Amino acid sequence: MASPLDQFVIKPIIPLGKIGASEIAFTNSSLFMMFVVGAIGLFFMAATSQRALVPGRMQAFAEMLYEFVANTLKSAAGKEGMQFFPLVFSLFLFVLTANFMGMIPGAFTVTSHIIVTFALAMLVFLTVIGVGFAKHGTHFLGLFVPGGAPAALVPFLVVIEVISFLSRPISLGMRLFANMLAGHIALKVFAGFVVSLGALGIGGILGATLPLGMIVALTALEFLVAFLQAYVFTILTCVYLNDALHPGH
């Protein structure tokens, strides 16, 4: 029986050469990144081509996504946060589409690789630091000094704040990666039970209905997780961007 981890194996499709010890290739992961961006691109191209006053179904859905992300961003980072809208919207669409595309049987889940989620988290983290220093200069460091704390405690608090700030990209990337990975592993493990039990004859087939029901339930849960993790990633991005715009407690 195949390992539940096989679905995460990266396979080169078109080898392109090497950079140092790293092999560069167009892989199954790259292919699904292309599918994700292609699907988003095609959908939004079609949905926004009319620019109708009274939207059709696709345009209404595109507007719904837009307003969902725009409201999340505005409520977390205020009106000025809208300058980051393209970044936040791209992140939301990319993660959401990648998560959902991973739910297609046999598909590769781009967001189940920590390097991808961590890279997206670092993108947010570096944007926050870059914009924070560009906008506020050294005042941005006020983010690490909690207001109203006793002077004796300030050094400890600053250390804690710095650690919590630096752990943000790790937790942001890890959360999405772990959720997608664990969900897909769980699905494959139960699917493996079905196959193993099914091979044991009539009693085994009856027994296999239990893990099969579990797969059905887990699939529903995974669809929820796919959306929820995209949303969590987005809202945390908005919260972190708020720090770049309004540092200081």
Partner 1 sequence: MATPQKTGTEVPGSGYAGPGFPPFKTETFASQLLWLAIFFGLLYWLVSTVFAPRLTEVIEGRASRIAKDLEEAASAKVKAEAAGAAYETSLAEARAKAQAIAQARRDEVNAASEARRKSLENDLAARLTAAETQIADTKTRAMANVEGIAAEAASAIVQRLGGSAPSRGDLDAALKAALKA
Using CB under 8 A as the binding rule, whether residue 29 contacts partner 1 is answered as yes
Residue from the set 73, 76, 77, 94 that interacts with partner 1 by CB under 8 A:
94
Q: Output the smallest distance, CB 106 to partner 1, in A.
A: 9
User: Cβ–Cβ contacts within 10 Å for residue 116, how many?
Assistant: 21
**E strands, the chain, where?**
12-19, 22-27
Near partner 1 in 33-92, by CB under 8 A = 33-34, 36-37, 40-41, 44-45, 48, 51-53, 55, 59, 62-63, 66-67, 85-87, 89-90
Please tell me the distance from the alpha carbon of residue 51 to that of residue 63, in angstroms, as a whole number: 11
Near partner 1 in 124-163, by CB under 8 A = none
End-to-end CA distance of the chain: 55
Please tell me the distance from the alpha carbon of residue 43 to that of residue 127, in angstroms, as a whole number: 27
Using CB under 8 A as the binding rule, whether residue 14 contacts partner 1 is answered as no
Residue from the set 104, 115, 159, 199 that interacts with partner 1 by CB under 8 A:
115
Name 110's Cβ contacts closer than 8 Å, sequence gap at least 6.
Answer: 29, 32, 33, 36, 98, 101, 102, 116
Near partner 1 in 153-212, by CB under 8 A = 177, 181, 195
| Cβ–Cβ under 8 Å, residues 102 and 110 | yes
Stretch that binds partner 1, among 25-33, 143-151, 159-167, 208-216 (CB under 8 A): 25-33
Residue from the set 73, 93, 197, 226 that interacts with partner 1 by CB under 8 A:
93
